[in-house]
Amino acid sequence: MAQASTVDVRPATVSRRSRRHRANSVALAFAAPALIVYAAFLLYPAIYSIRISFTSWDGLSPVMKYVGLSNYVKMFKDPVMKTAVKNNVIWALVTIFAPMVIGFALALAVNSKVYLRPFIRTIFYMPAVLPLVGVGTIWNWLFQPSGVINQLLALIGLGSLQNAWLGDSTTAIWAITIPACWVGTGFPMLLYLAALQGIPSDYYESARVDGASWWQQLRYITVPSLSAAHAIILALSLINAAKVFDLVFAMTNGGPGNATQVMGTWMYFNVFQSYNAGYGTAIAVVITIVAVLVGIPYVRAQAKAIR
């Protein structure tokens, strides 16, 4: 009986294996075009870039001279790189938390029964769809010494605070983070709004019956229920902060001097202006590593959610 049973099972196992194998082949075949494109336009350039980062290539010569890790060592001695890293950290801190807090507050506001709610949502989200170079140009005008911001300060009696915001090394990077927050608030607002609408109303009704205040409902129901949204926003904002380029380039070109250089702009200056393609590419590799590292928790959380 046992023997008969073994004989019966074997073909079924083989057939299951063969089906799985065929399914894998089909899946691979379907994915192949995308994988080919991915390999050609992403993987190959990425590997090639890593190779360049170990050379002293000027970006023009036909010959690349290998210099080992010296481009990476140079970063530790480069004073502009130190400024750039410091600015990236400032950028990350400001442009992650301010848009998260403001976006959350706006989401709470527009989630309630407010008159003209769709219109208000659109208004708050609108900056997020504007091209960053255009945003940079507009805010550059606003921050000019004779611009609207200084005029407003004078108008409300704060004339003593007037400053050449973008022309002063101590204020320039902070000034650029303001339009970054302006642009970056719409996205968290939308995500929080979607997440808020997914919280069952029963929770709030029960809390109200138990006598919970608005603040207690916010603290013990709303905020914990939005943990997935917090994680997504935090991770995406961190990745964006590591890659920042457009606004800085458009508003100050890394200046005054090199006061507002971030890793992205310093990489660009080295690769495209200073003919230090090897060094610039090493900076690009570091940016990528940082972006990948900060993105890992997000990807893992997503994978976990799918499972």
Partner 1 sequence: MSIQLTRRSVIGSLGAIAVGAGLSACGSSSSSSGSSGSNGGGKTLELFNYDTPAQAALTKKVLDAYTKSSGVSVTLSTLPGSGAAIYPGKLRTQILGGSAPDVFQCWGGTIAKPFVDTNQVIPLDALYQKYGWSSELLPASVTDLSYNGKKYGVPTKASSVGVWYNTALLAKSGHGVPTTFAEVETVNAALVKAGVQPWLAGGMYGWDVMRFFEWFLEHTAGPVEHDKLRNAQTSWNTSSVVDAFALLQKWAQNKWLPDGVMALDPTQVEAQFAGGKGAFALDGQWIEQNIVAAKMPTSAYGTFIPPTDQTPLRYSGFTEGLFITTQSKDPTDSEALIDFYLKPSSQELLQNAYTTVTAVPDITGYPGTAQWKKWGQTHQHYVIQDQSLTVDQANSYFSIQSDVVQGKQTPAAAAAAMAQAVPISS
What are the structure tokens assigned to 14, written together? 């083989």
Q: Residue 297 is which amino acid?
A: P
Q: Which stretch binds partner 1 (CB under 8 A): 45-53, 59-67, 91-99, 112-120?
A: 59-67
Does position 291 bind partner 1 by CB under 8 A? no
Residue numbers 139-178 binding partner 1 by CB under 8 A = 140, 143-145, 163-169, 172
What is the closest distance, in whole angstroms, from the C-beta atom of residue 282 to partner 1 in the complex?
A: 16
CA distances from 234 to 11, 35, 140, 191 (A): 51, 29, 27, 12
What is the closest distance, in whole angstroms, from the C-beta atom of residue 273 to partner 1 in the complex?
A: 6
Q: Residue 147 is which amino acid?
A: G
Residue with tokens 């442009």: 95
What is the closest distance, in whole angstroms, from the C-beta atom of residue 54 to partner 1 in the complex?
A: 19
Does position 281 bind partner 1 by CB under 8 A? no
What is the closest distance, in whole angstroms, from the C-beta atom of residue 124 to partner 1 in the complex?
A: 29
Q: Which stretch binds partner 1 (CB under 8 A): 11-19, 90-98, 271-279, 287-295?
A: 271-279
Q: Is the dihedral of CA 195, 197, 202, 208 positive or negative?
A: positive
Does position 18 bind partner 1 by CB under 8 A? no
Closer by beta carbon to partner 1, 104 or else 139 = 139
Does position 256 bind partner 1 by CB under 8 A? yes
3-state percent helix, strand, coil for the chain, nearest multiple of 5: 75, 0, 20
With beta carbons less than 8 A apart as the criterion, state whether 222 and 109 touch: no
- Residue among 263, 113, 156, 249 at smallest CA distance from 148: 156
Pattern 87-126, binding to partner 1, x per CB under 8 A?
----------------------------------------
Pattern 60-89, binding to partner 1, x per CB under 8 A?
xxx-----------------x---------
What is the closest distance, in whole angstroms, from the C-beta atom of residue 61 to partner 1 in the complex?
A: 5
Helices (H) then strands (E): counts for the chain: 16, 0
Closer by beta carbon to partner 1, 97 or else 272 = 272
d(CA 175, CA 95): 12
**In the set 54, 124, 182, 269, which binds partner 1 (CB under 8 A)?**
269
In the DSSP assignment, the letter for residue 115 is T
Does position 272 bind partner 1 by CB under 8 A? yes
d(CA 263, CA 279): 12
Q: Is 48 strand, coil or helix?
A: helix
- Residue among 62, 88, 75 at smallest CA distance from 281: 75
d(CA 2, CA 4): 5
Taking phi over 0 as left and psi of -120 to 50 as alpha, with beta for the rest, 164 belongs to beta
Closer by beta carbon to partner 1, 175 or else 183 = 175
**In the set 111, 252, 265, 281, which binds partner 1 (CB under 8 A)?**
252
Which residues in this chain contact partner 1 in the complex, by CB under 8 A?
26, 29-30, 32-33, 36, 58-62, 80, 140, 143-145, 163-169, 172, 252-253, 255-259, 269, 272-276
